[in-house]
Structure 1
Amino acid sequence: MRKFRTLLGATLAGACALTAMPGLAAAAPATAEQTAGLADTTGAYYTLAPARLMDTREGLGAPKAKIGPQSKVDLQVTGRGGVPTSGVGAVVLNVTITGPTSDSFVTAYPAGEARPDASSVNFAKGWLGSNNVTVKIGAGGQVSIYNRNGYTDVVVDVVGFYALDNSMVDRNGGQYEWFPPSRVFDTRTDPEGKPAAKDILEYSLDFGPEYNPHIKTLVFNLTAVSPTAAGYLTAWSGATSRPVSSTVNYGANVNVPNLAFVETTPCTGTEPYQWCTPGAPKFKIYTHASAHIVVDLVGDVDDGYSEWGMRFSPMSPTRIVDSRINQGIVGAVGPGATAKVTAPSEILTPDTDTLVMNVTAVKPTNNTVLIVWPADFDGLPKPGTSNLNPYANQIVSNAVLGVIGPNNQFNVYNHSGSTNVVADVVGTFYYPAPVAAGLAAQPDRSAPEVTGSTHR
């Protein structure tokens, strides 16, 4: 049963460039669920501090060499970077491509399985970029990383995992809930101007005193806009020093988005100028080069408190859209046009709500923007956000958490020119049966209000 979910009266605040690391606030008293963990952990999400699992430039996790044409490496994931040795169904990775010698794509898939007709990151010769990739765990706790053409270095960071079964009861897992995509931070409208190289911005979202203690992770599309040089963004909770990992990798003078699962830490109430609400979740973003930063909120992970929480069911990558062959969408999507996609029934259950996808724009005729949102939900128009920002004649992909509407459909909008679209599903979010059976009418919830944002 799919229901329309909006923000629970969230308010927003922001600040940045704090030189002292903030202390951790004492959270509100833990509920029994927080203390004991979820009653059943199957499909629950577990956030991790970002950790590097593979870097072919350094010989970490793989031979110290670029991955060659039609070649793969099997990456050990379980037992590393905070990922448990067993009971893991899928991992959430950030996969970065650097220094490719040819136009190509990389596919991440469960080790031991036949390579699927799907892609995880698409790139051009000389490209620098990354993509959020969810991968089902394969044989021996490994995932395979395949490169199609030429030679390329690949860097892999892990940010979280999903439980395969009910063996994670001693850990503090959570459930995902979606929000209508909402632009919450945009430095282009900040009077402080464009963040400088090596700036650290700090932001907070206030969900109210009832929900703040339960928020563990925020899920958003993070975009670097008009960077002055090649570099990267790193998003993390801010409770520790900046990790040796990246969230968005970008070249000079391009707009590059990436989906991000970012762990949060509570505001202490002692921050300079008291810019955030005590107990509200906050996080940091570091930019290596001067770049504008845009944050589009799409969901969160809480500790199981919300009735709208969902669990994840992993699957091997499955292509459901390829407009080049009229699969899912007939022909290229034209300027200002919206295509409606029906999710195949074989990948759905009655409680499926969201498709975890890799969506690819294939050689648009103009620079454009692609937006994905659920179809046929009353009161849910096309959002003022973006999922992909491809340039003309590029092949660009990004992870999308695609909510399906009451008719099992989602919309894909193309802003300019025409472009072919490809979508590969790597898993689904579903409402646990007792929750799905008990969901009632839509709640009355308001959109967020921006209350402030500064940086220096």
Structure 2
Amino acid sequence: MSTLTAAASARPPRDRPVRRRVVTAGLALACALVPVQTGAARADTAADGPALTSAAAAVGAGTDVAGTSTPPGGRATKPRITTIPITATAPSGAKGAAPSAAGPVAQVTRQRTSFDVAGVTSSGAALDGIRIEVQTHGAAGWSPWTGLEAEGDGPDPGTPEAAGARVGTAPLLAAGSDGIRLRVFSPDGTLPGGLGLSLVDGGDAPQDARPPRSAAPLSVTAPRLRTVADGATAAGPTSRAASAVTSGVSAPAIVSRSGWGADESLRDCVPTALGGFKAAAVHHTVNSNSYTSTQSASLVRGILAYHTKSLGWCDIGYNFLVDRFGTIFEGRYGSLAGFVQAAHAGGFNRETFGVSVIGDFTRSSFPSAAVSAVSRVIAWQADRSGFDPGAGVTLTSEGSTRYPAGTRVVLPRVVGHRNLSLTSCPGDTAYPQVAGIRSSAASTWRAGQYRAAPGLYTPLTARRVVDTRTGLGGSTTALGPDSSRVITIPGLPSTATAVTISVTASGATGGTYLVVHPDGTPLPTSSLLSTSPGRTVAAPITVGLGPSARLRVYNRLSTVHITVDVQGYYSSSGGAGFTGVAPRRVLDTRTGTGAPRAQVPARGSVTFAVPGLPSTARSVVLNISGANARASTAVTAHPVGTARPGTPNLHLSAARLSTTSVVVPVGSDRRVTLYSDLAATDLVADVVGYHATGLGARFTATAPRRVADTRWGWNIRLGPVTSGLVVGTYLPAPSTANGVAMNVTAIYATAPTLVTVYPAAQTRPTSPSLTPSANETVSTALLLSTGVGPHVSYSSTAGAVHLLTDVTGYFGP
């Protein structure tokens, strides 16, 4: 970190850290990852998703997270801070000094004072034009004179943390020192007001004598879960050559804050929780390369004390620190379990996380052990956030020393600090090593990714495979909080790579959400649907299979019953390709399109044709909507001439509009039937695509990922989508991709609205994708043919609504 200037942020208000004293560790654990919500009360928070809540669960439980390395006997160690005023004095001619022609305007000498970290702060003007030099004394005698660089980075401009920050230098690391000499040079002979020298003794802790050298690197992507198997162990193959299934990128061994003895009373704010990061910045702490492995933790404690007590920050500025021996330390509170905004690169803290190597690498390289550790922690964090460390990204400055607020900067996903700010960090010799760190992190990340073999689609007559209410497919046990159910889909070929299913949640005892992912992969940062007491919610999903043709359904917050209905599968050995089309209305009982103008009666049906399909079409993808229902009812889609399956696709409430997506097999007559169960209702259907033999794209399943979130500005414009506003995002996929399988969730709507999601290259269609009511959380699955590259647009007709997007795979040649 270095040089100083700050541009005012032009960003709109957002969830920000509240500067308040955190009195007890218990309180800190309970609220560490809860952002401060503004605006209307939130009636349904279940869709916040596992990107935050799994982390919160791990932290809130007050336990160390799997994958961390916490030496025995870990306890907080309170640093000692000595502050010495710096006032103008005549040159003292101290031994070893070599004043310039003008001479220093201030000098300080302090001996027989133990410290590990030193720095200079000012309560007045910036340190522009001021030159500060120090010598430190230790076992080897006096060091050479070293210049202290002004600390120009830190909290983002305009935030409460920035408001409480003070001007100062970057910390000088000098482990085990007992004396210091300081001199200050000023062009005009004056000093900034309130200039002071801070000496921080990190203290000794029992764990310092046992620095961690190795620990089993366990994944911390998912909380510890209770698993209920479905008992169907013989229905599926034992291995799947068609899928390349991995378990994600494991967390390296990391020393938690309790492990290095963090004094949590020094924190005076609740960290700002984020939805993830877009990029990583590599730093160095400057000044000390001679420390021992037993001194590393003391240096980290000293940096925490200097950043909080001397510079006035909320917490330590970096998310992670790495010593020259390759030991990784958790930095800012919450970085190990979740995603929290740090203060490492002013103007870019909301979009990046910082990893700092302890030492000065202006003239020497990062040691190989440090390079390896930095690469591993970046690969792990990138996996949790869902980005490829080897790719590029567009970041938006909130006001940095290099880029004014609002500047959009295209950079690699892993950069040196100097790419974001006017600084020499991470050092002239180390900076060329950032490219190698980026490459190594990308290789580790790619090796840990789930990606199934491309497949073609085979539709099935919809059938139920799991119902926890009746015991179908296993026991009658409902899913409890933080528990999961392993699902085997019977009857699939060994070459099956993905399935299209519908999952229904009912009988919830409280607000909760469900996640579906391939069994054998970590719990992803995504969600399928949200529900609450009294609601029955169904949502389709196209998702990859685990190594034994199995899926895992995870429930987050309360007890709930689930049903799972299979509609078809993708296989590497044959089937039909997907072709998306601009939405085209084929049924509307309100206007007489495709059928007589009349509501579908209770326990009645409507049949309609889907014209324009090729002769080899095997299924059609429809968006179906229900409106003006006389009472709650369920709607089921099926081909004409087949028995109606007991697998509803859409659940309607009285007098409101609801919509979903469904894949329906078609015969030669290209006709489809929609059945309404308990009440009369109007029904609308739009064709958005089809699967046909010999045509279309193949589907490649990936691990489900949250790829856009307006609440955090994650890969999309920050802030809710309001009436008349069209926002867009680029969904991560290969450049050859021409479509995506995605789930979109609407949350925190301020009024009933119609949300439309469509390919950016197309005109906005008239049929909505989601229809949330005020404060309701709703989700839908979409198969979109996007053309060249997966560019997607979103719009809303009323009020304001936040939108979350998860991707489960892509279509391509």
User: 2:458 is matched with which residue: 33, 46, 63?
Assistant: 46
Query: Which of the two has greater helix per residue?
Result: 2
Following superposition, the deviation at residue 83 of structure 1 comes to 2.6
Q: Is 1:370 equivalent to 2:755 in the alignment? A: yes
Is there any run of 5+ residues in structure 2 with no aligned partner, and where? 1-452
Distance 2:549 2:469 in 1: 23
Counting only pairs closer than 5 Å after superposition, residues 317-356 of structure 1 correspond to structure 2 as 317-329=704-716, 330-344=718-732, 348-356=733-741
8 Å contact from structure 1 (residues 129, 250) kept in 2: no
Change (3 A) 1:286 1:408: closer
8 Å contact from structure 2 (residues 736, 788) kept in 1: no
Residue of structure 2 in register with 1:174 after alignment: 576
Residue of structure 1 in register with 2:529 after alignment: 121
Following superposition, the deviation at residue 200 of structure 1 comes to 1.7
Distance 1:42 1:420 in 2: 32
8 Å contact from structure 1 (residues 62, 73) kept in 2: no
8 Å contact from structure 1 (residues 105, 148) kept in 2: yes
Q: Is 1:160 equivalent to 2:568 in the alignment? A: yes
Distance 2:698 2:805 in 1: 21
Residue of structure 2 in register with 1:297 after alignment: 687
- The aligned amino acid for 2:781 is A
- The aligned amino acid for 2:724 is G
Following superposition, the deviation at residue 113 of structure 1 comes to 1.4
Q: Is 1:88 equivalent to 2:88 in the alignment? A: no
Following superposition, the deviation at residue 42 of structure 1 comes to 4.5
Distance 1:398 1:242 in 2: 23
User: 2:488 is matched with which residue: 68, 76, 82?
Assistant: 76
Distance 1:127 1:428 in 2: 31
8 Å contact from structure 1 (residues 129, 251) kept in 2: no
SS in 1 for 2:474: coil
- The aligned amino acid for 1:83 is L
8 Å contact from structure 1 (residues 339, 412) kept in 2: yes
Change (3 A) 1:420 1:194: same
Distance 1:154 1:254 in 2: 24
- The aligned amino acid for 1:197 is A
Question: What TM-score comes out, normalization by structure 2 length?
Answer: 0.43
Identity over the aligned pairs, expressed in percent?
29
8 Å contact from structure 1 (residues 220, 260) kept in 2: yes
Residue of structure 2 in register with 1:287 after alignment: 676
Q: Is 1:103 equivalent to 2:514 in the alignment? A: no
Residue of structure 1 in register with 2:648 after alignment: 246
Structure of higher RCO (CA pairs closer than 8 Å, 6+ residues apart) = 1
- The aligned amino acid for 1:206 is P
1:242-298 Cα shifts (integer Å, max 9, x gaps): 11211112233332211100011223xxxxxxxxxxxxx112111112111110110
Counting only pairs closer than 5 Å after superposition, residues 397-436 of structure 1 correspond to structure 2 as 397-404=779-786, 406=788, 408-430=790-812, 432=813
8 Å contact from structure 1 (residues 128, 251) kept in 2: no
Following superposition, the deviation at residue 140 of structure 1 comes to 2.0
Distance 1:203 1:404 in 2: 27
Residue of structure 2 in register with 1:55 after alignment: 467
SS in 2 for 1:365: coil
1:97-120 Cα shifts (integer Å, max 9, x gaps): 112111111001111211111101
Distance 1:148 1:87 in 2: 31
Distance 1:96 1:58 in 2: 14
SS in 2 for 1:324: coil
Is there any run of 5+ residues in structure 1 with no aligned partner, and where? 1-40, 268-280, 433-456
SS in 1 for 2:458: strand
1:158-212 Cα shifts (integer Å, max 9, x gaps): 000001x33x4xxxx111101011222111113542111011211112327xx3x
User: 1:131 is matched with which residue: 539, 543, 553?
Assistant: 539
8 Å contact from structure 1 (residues 258, 399) kept in 2: yes
SS in 2 for 1:139: coil
Counting only pairs closer than 5 Å after superposition, residues 217-296 of structure 1 correspond to structure 2 as 217-267=619-669, 281-288=670-677, 289-296=679-686
Which of the two has higher C-alpha Rg? 2
1:42-67 Cα shifts (integer Å, max 9, x gaps): 51000000010111110111320221
Following superposition, the deviation at residue 407 of structure 1 comes to 6.0
8 Å contact from structure 1 (residues 117, 318) kept in 2: yes
Distance 1:94 1:408 in 2: 24
Query: Which of the two has greater strand per residue?
Result: 1
1:117-159 Cα shifts (integer Å, max 9, x gaps): 1101122332112111112101322101111111111111000
Following superposition, the deviation at residue 343 of structure 1 comes to 2.1
Q: Is 1:216 equivalent to 2:606 in the alignment? A: no
8 Å contact from structure 1 (residues 68, 150) kept in 2: yes
Distance 2:789 2:538 in 1: 33
Distance 1:334 1:192 in 2: 33
SS in 2 for 1:419: strand
Following superposition, the deviation at residue 406 of structure 1 comes to 4.4
SS in 2 for 1:146: strand
Change (3 A) 1:193 1:239: closer
Distance 2:611 2:759 in 1: 25
Distance 1:65 1:302 in 2: 40
Distance 1:140 1:121 in 2: 25
Following superposition, the deviation at residue 303 of structure 1 comes to 1.2
1:220-241 Cα shifts (integer Å, max 9, x gaps): 1111213222221111112321
Distance 1:263 1:282 in 2: 9
User: 1:360 is matched with which residue: 745, 754, 778?
Assistant: 745
8 Å contact from structure 2 (residues 454, 701) kept in 1: no
Change (3 A) 1:382 1:132: same
8 Å contact from structure 2 (residues 618, 691) kept in 1: yes
**Count of matched residue pairs:** 356
1:69-118 Cα shifts (integer Å, max 9, x gaps): 111110111xx2x433x111110001111121111110011112111111
Residue of structure 1 in register with 2:603 after alignment: 198
Question: What TM-score comes out, normalization by structure 1 length?
Answer: 0.75
Distance 1:103 1:251 in 2: 18
- The aligned amino acid for 1:92 is T
8 Å contact from structure 1 (residues 181, 296) kept in 2: yes
8 Å contact from structure 2 (residues 629, 654) kept in 1: yes
8 Å contact from structure 2 (residues 739, 787) kept in 1: no
Distance 1:135 1:407 in 2: 20
8 Å contact from structure 1 (residues 403, 410) kept in 2: no
